[in-house]
Amino acid sequence: MATRTEPITVNIGPQHPSTHGVFRMRVTFDGEDILNVEPVFGYLHRGSEKLAEERNYTQVITLTDRLDYVASQTNNQAYCIAVEKLAGIQPTERGMYLRVIAAELQRIASHLVATGFLLQDLGAFATPLMYCFRERERILEMFEMLCGARITVSYMRPGGVFQDAPEDFWPALTTFLEDMPGYLDELDMLLTGNEIIVGRTFDVGVLKPEIAINGSVSGPILRSTGVRWDIRKADPYDIYDRIEFDVPIGTRGDNWDRYKVRLEEMRQSLRIVEQCVAQIPEGPARAEVPFVFRPPAGAEAYGRVEAPKGELGFYLVSDGTIAPYRCKIRSPSMINLSVLSDILVGYKLADLIVTFGSTDINMGEVDR
C-alpha cells in the first residue's frame, strides 16, 4: 500500500557544470515523485544582444563566442551568415568549406562534452568524461592551429574565415579522421550496453514529438522523438547542399535516444568533414570585405544554422550605420528548456539530474 506524503516544494540547483550558479528548479515532490517543475533562470546578465548594438558588425563576433561557449564556431557561423544576408556579401568557396569543417569539428567537440557530462550525472566518476575530453582536446588543438584560440575562437568573418588553415592543420585533421571512428566505437562499446546506463536512461524523460514541435524544440532533443528535422538538410547554408550525410533520429524521445542521436551525429560529422577535405578548392579564404561597412538602412536578415544544440539564429536590422540597429538571438538552449517540465513530471528525484543533463543546455545563450 502506497503511503501518501505531503507535497513539498524544493529549490534544486545547480547540478550541471554548464549552469555554474545561474539556474535552479523549483520542484514540487510527493515523496520522491515529481509533481511540478518550474525552471528559474536569469542571473547571468550578459546583455549580448544590446552590446551588439554598440559595436560594429565585425566586433560583434567576439560576443557570439560567449553564447554557447562549448560550440563557439557555430555561433560565429550563424552570425556571419546573417550579416552576409544583410549586407549582400558573398563568401568565398574556400571560406565556406573551412567554415563547415570547423563547424562539424565543433559539433563533435560539443557532443563529446554532452556525452561525458551525462555519464558524470549518472554517477560514473571521471573515466567516461576523461575519455571524451581526450578526443575533444585534439579538436581544440586544431582550432588553435586555425586561429590561435581554443574555446572563444572568433574564427569566422563575413565573407569567409579569419585566415586560411596553416599547413600543419591538414595532417592533424587527417590523423584525427583516421583515429576518431575507433574512439567512437570504443565509447559505444563501453557505454551503450552498460546495464546501469540503460536502466537509468531507457524510457526515462520521454518527450512526445507533438510537444517538442509545439514548443519549437530543435536539435538532438527534437530528433530523438523521431522528427527528422535538420536545418543543414531543410535549409542548406554554406556548402551543405553539396555534402551527403544522414540525419540520425530516435523513436521514443527519452534520455537514451538523446544520447544515441548525439553519438551517431558525431559519426556523420566525420563523414561531412571527410567530404569537405576531398572537395575544398584553392583560392582565398575570405572575400574582400572592409572591417567597417554599412548595410543598407532598413535592411533586415535572419541567419540560422544547425548548431550542436539545435537551431541557432540571428535576426539583424540595419539603420545604415556601422553597427546593428537591432540584434535578436534565437538560442536553442533557452527554447529547449521550455519543455523541461514535460520531461520531468511523473519521474523520480534521481531521474531529474540525469534528464536535465541529457538536455545539454548552456546558460551562456539562455541569459544573454
* pLDDT tier at 366, thresholds 50, 70, 90: confident
Q: pLDDT tens across 42-78, in order?
A: 777 778 999 999 999 999 999 999 999 999 999 999 9
**What pLDDT was estimated at residue 186?**
93
| Distance (Å, whole) CA 306 – CA 78 | 9
**What pLDDT was estimated at residue 74?**
97
| Distance (Å, whole) CA 358 – CA 117 | 9
**What pLDDT was estimated at residue 19?**
59
| Distance (Å, whole) CA 119 – CA 340 | 19
The grid coordinates of residue 242 equal 553539396
Cα–Cα nearest to 65, from 26, 106, 27, 111: 106
**What pLDDT was estimated at residue 116?**
92
Cα–Cα nearest to 106, from 156, 62, 63: 156
**What pLDDT was estimated at residue 273?**
98
Q: pLDDT tens across 299-333, in order?
A: 999 999 999 999 999 999 999 999 999 999 999 99
pLDDT over 90 (residue 121) = no
Cβ 145 vs Cβ 168: under 8 Å: yes
What number of CA atoms fall less than 13 Å from residue 135's CA on the CB side? 30
pLDDT over 80 (residue 125) = no
| 3-class secondary structure, 355 | helix
**What pLDDT was estimated at residue 346?**
93
Percent of the chain with pLDDT over 70: 97
**What pLDDT was estimated at residue 45?**
73
> What integer is the mean pLDDT of 232-260?
96
Q: Which domains does the chain have, with CATH numbers?
A: 46-346 (1.10.645.10)
pLDDT over 60 (residue 249) = yes
Cβ 28 vs Cβ 36: under 8 Å: yes
Q: pLDDT tens across 229-245, in order?
A: 999 999 999 999 999 99
pLDDT over 60 (residue 16) = no
DSSP labels, 169-200 = HHHHHHHHHHHHHHHHHHHHHHHTT-HHHHHH
Cβ 330 vs Cβ 64: under 8 Å: no
> What integer is the mean pLDDT of 171-195?
94
| Distance (Å, whole) CA 359 – CA 255 | 8
Q: pLDDT tens across 4-15, in order?
A: 678 999 988 775
Question: Which of the residue ranges 18-22, 37-41, 313-317 would you say has the lowest mean pLDDT?
Answer: 18-22
Percent of the chain with pLDDT over 90: 83
Q: pLDDT tens across 128-165, in order?
A: 889 999 999 999 999 999 999 999 999 999 999 999 99
